[in-house]
Amino acid sequence: MSTNLQELLPDLDGGVFEQKIATMLSEVALGVVTHGRQGKVTVEFDMKQIGETQQVAMKHTLKYQKPTKRGKATEEDSTETPLYVANNGDLALFHHDQTSFGFMNRKQKAEQE
């Protein structure tokens, strides 16, 4: 089995990570078509084990280079989210056996409406 990104991404950085990616992609794309030069968006994930647990601290870093009239603008944003690692390697915000708290992420809520 592998990690379900559609479920994991909305949980990163308290639900803001997905919005940051979307904003950066749009800003860079606009700079590319406005100024006719190449832009770049980079997403990096670094993980380290939390103590001796089945959890990792995932650092997620977004970087972009957006063309401007006289050069380029760059920005970097790094945040960290603790994640549980299942026996098969799947990553999730909560342990797979944990009881539901009765709340859901934005995508799950939208799907039910």
2 token code pair: 């592998």
Tell me what pLDDT residue 98 has.
61
Q: Is the pLDDT of residue 100 over 60?
A: no
Domain limits of the chain? 5-112
- In the sheet where 91-92 sits, what is the strand order? 40-49, 55-68, 71-85, 91-92
Q: What's the CATH class of domain 5-112?
A: alpha beta
Coil vs helix vs strand at 113: coil
DSSP codes joined into one string, 31-66: HHHHH-S--EEEEEEEEEE-TTSSEEEEEEEEEEEE
Q: Mind listing the pLDDT tens digit for each residue in 65-94?
A: 999 999 999 999 999 999 999 888 889 887
Helices (H), 39-103: none
